[in-house]
């Protein structure tokens, strides 16, 4: 007796979850042979092609998924990543920006996982701008990321660094303290808070932050090095 579409779907998803991509691909092809407008399956096929080093086929599958459902955020993100891997940077940026715009304009009940992925993509773009010394552009990307994920300590910290690099020390201090509140054990926030205090001449506050970081990670070489700046050399 031939399997139903529901049975094929369940078997294919089970194989996919076990990373048995050969079986999953076979089952998904059978489903698409009956219903070629199954956006979720096309997205999964794209992921299989990506995992098996077939990026051109991956891009085609994600494009097909989006032709069926233009608001399919996960497929958009996957397509952007695939375009980037294919060195098609302009197309990657265009797809990503469209996905971000749809998310901003759509329902506020966006899947938190998707929000996190979008936020991390903005973080990556912000880091590229920061590495190029384009800190105002980096700040803009970090702020976009934080509108999606306001409590990500790493993004808040990067925003603080970019603000400090543009001379906005008070705002930078606010962001580093905000990052510390979001995650008290996130050492980079304490490190950069201390650096900013030190650069402004608040050596006691800098030492306080670095000592707190050292308690979290007693082997952290950077923390130990910074503490030497505020401690007199041992005789």
Specify the pLDDT at position 233: 47
**233 within domain boundaries:** yes
Centre a 10 Å sphere on the Cβ of residue 133 and count the other Cβ atoms it contains: 9
Number of alpha carbons in the 13 Å side-chain half-sphere of residue 192: 28
**124 within domain boundaries:** no
Concatenated DSSP letters of 42-90: HHHHHHHHHHTT-HHHHHHHHHHHHHH-TT-HHHHHHHHHHHHHTT-HH
**222 within domain boundaries:** yes
Same domain, 145 and 98: no
Specify the pLDDT at position 149: 87
* pLDDT beneath 70: ranges in the chain: 1-2, 102-114, 231-235
**1 within domain boundaries:** yes
Specify the pLDDT at position 104: 59
pTM score, two decimals? 0.58
Same domain, 91 and 145: no
Structure tokens, 93: 């940026």
Burial of 170 (0-12, 13-18, 19+ CB in 10 A): exposed
Specify the pLDDT at position 115: 75
Same domain, 96 and 179: no
Specify the pLDDT at position 164: 93
**21 within domain boundaries:** yes
Domain count across the chain: 2
Q: Which tens digit of pLDDT belongs to each residue from 156-203?
A: 999 999 999 999 999 999 999 999 999 999 999 999 999 999 988 899
**Residue 47 contacts by C-beta under 8 Å, 6 or more apart in sequence?**
16, 58, 78
Q: Which tens digit of pLDDT belongs to each residue from 149-164?
A: 899 999 999 999 999 9
């Amino acid at each position: 007796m031939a399997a139903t579409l529901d049975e094929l779907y369940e078997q294919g998803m089970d194989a996919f979850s076990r990373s048995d991509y050969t079986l999953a691909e076979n089952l998904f092809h059978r489903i698409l042979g009956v219903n070629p407008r199954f956006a979720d399956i096309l997205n999964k096929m794209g992921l299989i092609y990506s995992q098996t080093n077939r990026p051109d086929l991956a891009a085609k599958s994600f494009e097909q998924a989006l032709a069926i459902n233009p608001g399919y955020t996960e497929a958009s993100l996957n397509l952007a990543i695939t375009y980037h891997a294919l060195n098609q940077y302009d197309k990657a940026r265009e797809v990503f920006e469209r996905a971000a715009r749809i998310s901003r304009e759509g329902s506020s009940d966006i899947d938190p996982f998707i929000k996190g992925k979008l936020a991390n993509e903005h973080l990556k773009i912000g880091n590229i701008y920061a590495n190029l010394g384009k800190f105002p552009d980096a700040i803009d990307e970090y702020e976009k990321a934080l509108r999606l994920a306001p409590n990500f300590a790493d993004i808040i910290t990067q925003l603080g660094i970019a603000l400090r690099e543009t001379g906005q020390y008070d705002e930078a201090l606010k962001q580093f303290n905000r990052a510390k509140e979001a995650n008290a054990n996130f050492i980079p926030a304490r490190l950069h808070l201390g650096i900013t205090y030190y650069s402004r001449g608040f050596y006691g506050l800098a030492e306080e932050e670095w000592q707190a970081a050292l308690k979290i990670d007693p082997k952290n070489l950077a923390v130990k090095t910074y503490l030497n700046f505020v401690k007199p050399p041992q005789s």
